[in-house]
Amino acid sequence: MNQKLTETEKILMDLLWEKETAFMKDLLEAFPEPKPAPTTVATLLKRMQNKNLVGYKTFGNSREYFPKIEKGKYFTGEMKGLINQFFNNSVTQFASYFTANAKLSQKELKELRDMIDKQIKD
């Protein structure tokens, strides 16, 4: 199932991850300007339910929405997809590209080396 989020869905998902649970009115209030129409948010939530990323509990006529995936787990999946799509599923190619193009400072490069060294020792 496709779990990729559009930019607007990402904003909505970030709000849900931050709030943990929210009613539609809470999401609309928290949405940055320009705020989408309530029907747009309802459509986005429905699409995100179809992607199995969002669930809800019913309270009378209202639905309280909640994320069905942790932010870290979603991000890990996105990173794996990027590495697969752009770097032939090679973490080494990704790391090489990242370190060559991210314009990292000497301090940041040393921090990365320390992280790698720690992973090798563990």
Can you give the pLDDT of all 122 residues of the chain as single tens digits? 457 788 999 999 999 999 999 999 999 999 989 999 999 999 999 999 999 999 999 999 999 999 999 999 998 888 888 889 889 988 888 888 888 888 888 898 899 889 888 989 87
Q: For residues 39 and 26, give the distance between their C-alpha atoms in angstroms, rounded to a whole number.
A: 14
The sign one gets for the Cα dihedral 54, 59, 63, 64 is negative
What is the signed CA dihedral for 23, 26, 32, 35, rounded to 10 degrees? 70
Q: Name the residue among 71, 76, 78 with its Cα closest to residue 2.
A: 78
Long-range contacts of 40-44 (CB under 8 A, 24+ apart): 40/8, 41/12, 44/8, 44/9, 44/12
CATH code that applies to domain 7-67? 1.10.10.10
pTM of the predicted protein model: 0.74
Residue ranges of alpha helices (H) inside 1-122 are 7-19, 24-30, 38-50, 71-86, 91-101, 106-121
CB 93 within 8 A of CB 105: no
> What's the confidence (pLDDT) of residue 99?
82
Residue boundaries of the structural domains of the chain: 7-67, 91-122
